[in-house]
Chain A
Amino acid sequence: MPKMDDIGHGDHVKVVKDGKEFFGVLMPSATTYVVIKLGSGYNVGFAPEGLKISLVEKAAPVTANRLPRPMRPELPRLSIISTGGTIASKIDYRTGAVTSQFDADDIIDAIPGLAEIANIEGMVLYNILSENMQPELWSELALCVYNQVRAGAYGVLVTHGTDTLGYSAAALSFMLQVPVPVMLVGSQRSADRPSSDNVVNATCAAVAATSDLAGVFTVMHEDASDDTCLVHLGTRTKKMHTSRRDAFRSVNAEPVARVKYQDRSLQFLTDRIGRGGCELSVRPNIEPKCALIKFFPGADPNIMNFYLTQGYKGLVIEGTGLGHVTSEWVPHVKETTEAIPVVMTSQCVYGTVCDRVYDTGRDLLKAGIIEGDDMLSETALVKLMWVLGQTSDREEIRQLMKTNIAGEITVDESRTWRTFEELP
Chain B
Amino acid sequence: MKDHDYKKIGLKAGLEIHQQLNTTSKLFCSSPAELKDTKDATYEFYRYLRPSKSELGEIDRAAMEEGIGTRRFTYKAYASTGLVENDDEPPMEMNLEALKIALQIALLLHMQPFEQVHTMRKLVIDGSNTSGFQRTALLAVDGQVSLRSGPVKIDTLSVEEEAAQIVDKDVYSLDRLGIPLVELGTAPDLKTPKMVKELALTIGTILRACTVKRGLGTIRQDINISIVGGVRVEIKGVQALELVEDIVRFEVSRQLNLLKIRDELQARGARVGNPIEVTSIFTRTGSKILKKKRVWGVLLTGFANLVGKEIQPGRRLGSEFADRAKKKSVAGIFHTDELPRFGISSKEKDALLQFLEAEERDAAVILADESAKTCVEAISAVIERAREAIEGVPEETRRALDDGSSEYLRPLPGAARMYPETDVSPIPLPKEVIEHVKLHLPEKLEDRTERYKRDFFLNDELAHQIARSENNRLFEQVMSLWREKDSDITKDETKDAATLVVRTLEGVIAELKRDGVPIDRLKRKHILDVFQLVRCKTISKEGVPGVLRLLTECDTKTADEAAIELGFVMLSERELKTIVDEVVQSQLDFIKARGMGAIGPLMGVVMKQVRGKTDGRLVNEVLQAKVLSVLQ
C-alpha gap A93/B414 in the complex (Å): 13
- Chain A CB within 8 A of B549 CB: no
- The interface residues of chain A lying within 8 Å CB-to-CB of B83 are 243-244
Per-residue 0/1 for A97-110: is the Cβ within 8 Å of any B Cβ (1 yes, 0 no)?
11000000000011
Per-residue 0/1 for B12-52: is the Cβ within 8 Å of any A Cβ (1 yes, 0 no)?
00000000000000000000000000000000011111111
Stretch from A42-50, A161-169, A321-329 at the B interface: A42-50
Are A193's CB and B116's CB within 8 A? no
- Chain B CB within 8 A of A396 CB: no
Question: Chain A binding site: helix, strand, loop or mixed by DSSP?
Answer: loop
- The interface residues of chain B lying within 8 Å CB-to-CB of A44 are 114, 116-118, 138
Query: Residue on B with the closest CB to A67?
Result: B57
- The interface residues of chain A lying within 8 Å CB-to-CB of B90 are 243
Are A109's CB and B53's CB within 8 A? yes
Interface residues of B in 405-428 (CB under 8 A from A): 415-420, 426, 428
C-alpha gap A302/B89 in the complex (Å): 39
Query: Residue on B with the closest CB to A65?
Result: B57
Write the nearest CB–CB distance from A111 to chain B, whole angstroms.
Answer: 9
Query: Residue on B with the closest CB to A110?
Result: B52
- Chain A CB within 8 A of B513 CB: no
C-alpha gap A94/B115 in the complex (Å): 22
Are A41's CB and B415's CB within 8 A? yes
- The interface residues of chain B lying within 8 Å CB-to-CB of A18 are 112
Give the residue of A40, A43, A64, A89 whose beta carbon is less than 8 angstroms from that of B57.
A64
Known: A191-B52, A195-B132. A40 touches B142 (CB 8 A): no
Write the nearest CB–CB distance from A328 to chain B, whole angstroms.
Answer: 41
Interface residues of A in 12-47 (CB under 8 A from B): 17-18, 20, 27, 30-31, 33, 35, 38, 40-47
Write the nearest CB–CB distance from B523 to chain A, whole angstroms.
Answer: 38
- Chain B CB within 8 A of A335 CB: no
Known: A193-B131, A195-B87, A226-B47. A93 touches B118 (CB 8 A): no
- The interface residues of chain A lying within 8 Å CB-to-CB of B417 are 41, 91, 93
Give the residue of B56, B72, B121 whose beta carbon is less than 8 angstroms from that of A64.
B56
C-alpha gap A224/B49 in the complex (Å): 14
- The interface residues of chain A lying within 8 Å CB-to-CB of B88 are 188-189, 224, 243-245
Are B116's CB and A195's CB within 8 A? no
- The interface residues of chain B lying within 8 Å CB-to-CB of A188 are 88
Are A93's CB and B426's CB within 8 A? no
Are A31's CB and B138's CB within 8 A? no
- Chain A CB within 8 A of B122 CB: yes
- Chain A CB within 8 A of B130 CB: yes
Write the nearest CB–CB distance from B196 to chain A, whole angstroms.
Answer: 22
Query: Residue on B with the closest CB to A38?
Result: B138
**Most chain A CB neighbours (cut-off 10 Å) among B49, B114, B430:** B114
Place the interface of chain B in its size category. Answer: 35 or more
- The interface residues of chain B lying within 8 Å CB-to-CB of A225 are 45-47
Known: A224-B88, A243-B83. A46 touches B114 (CB 8 A): yes
Are A194's CB and B45's CB within 8 A? no
- Chain B CB within 8 A of A96 CB: yes
C-alpha gap A191/B50 in the complex (Å): 10
- Chain A CB within 8 A of B120 CB: yes
Are B52's CB and A41's CB within 8 A? no
Per-residue 0/1 for A180-210: is the Cβ within 8 Å of any B Cβ (1 yes, 0 no)?
0000000011011111100110000000000
Give the residue of A192, A244, A262 whose beta carbon is less than 8 angstroms from that of B52.
A192
Known: A43-B420, A44-B116, A194-B51. A226 touches B46 (CB 8 A): yes
Give the residue of B72, B89, B125 whose beta carbon is less than 8 angstroms from that of A243.
B89
- The interface residues of chain B lying within 8 Å CB-to-CB of A194 are 49-52, 123, 125, 131-133
Write the nearest CB–CB distance from B131 to chain A, whole angstroms.
Answer: 5
- The interface residues of chain A lying within 8 Å CB-to-CB of B114 are 44-46
C-alpha gap A33/B427 in the complex (Å): 11
Are A193's CB and B428's CB within 8 A? no
C-alpha gap A6/B529 in the complex (Å): 71
Give the residue of A90, A226, A227 whose beta carbon is less than 8 angstroms from that of B54.
A90
Are A226's CB and B418's CB within 8 A? no
Query: Residue on A with the closest CB to B140?
Result: A44
- Chain B CB within 8 A of A62 CB: yes
Write the nearest CB–CB distance from B603 to chain A, whole angstroms.
Answer: 73
- Chain A CB within 8 A of B86 CB: yes
Known: A33-B428, A40-B416, A225-B47. A47 touches B115 (CB 8 A): yes
- Chain B CB within 8 A of A92 CB: yes
Are A43's CB and B118's CB within 8 A? yes
Are B430's CB and A93's CB within 8 A? no
- Chain B CB within 8 A of A223 CB: yes
C-alpha gap A65/B90 in the complex (Å): 33
Per-residue 0/1 for B54-97: is the Cβ within 8 Å of any A Cβ (1 yes, 0 no)?
11110000000000010010000000000100111110000000
- The interface residues of chain B lying within 8 Å CB-to-CB of A91 are 52-55, 417, 419
Are A41's CB and B120's CB within 8 A? yes
Are A193's CB and B47's CB within 8 A? no
C-alpha gap A64/B420 in the complex (Å): 22
User: Which residues in A have some Cβ–Cβ distance to B below 8 Å?
Assistant: 17-18, 20, 27, 30-31, 33, 35, 38, 40-47, 62, 64-65, 89-94, 96-98, 109-110, 188-189, 191-196, 199-200, 223-227, 242-245, 262
9 A-B residue contacts at CB 8 Å?
A: A17-B115, A31-B116, A31-B426, A46-B116, A62-B56, A91-B419, A92-B419, A189-B87, A193-B87
Told that A64-B57, A193-B131 touch, could you supply 18 new A-B pairs with CB distance under 8 A?
Answer: A31-B116, A35-B426, A41-B418, A42-B120, A42-B136, A46-B116, A91-B54, A91-B417, A92-B419, A96-B418, A189-B131, A193-B52, A194-B132, A195-B87, A224-B86, A224-B88, A226-B47, A243-B83
User: Which residues in B have some Cβ–Cβ distance to A below 8 Å?
Assistant: 45-57, 69, 72, 83, 86-90, 112, 114-118, 120-123, 125, 130-133, 136-138, 142, 156, 158, 415-420, 426, 428, 430
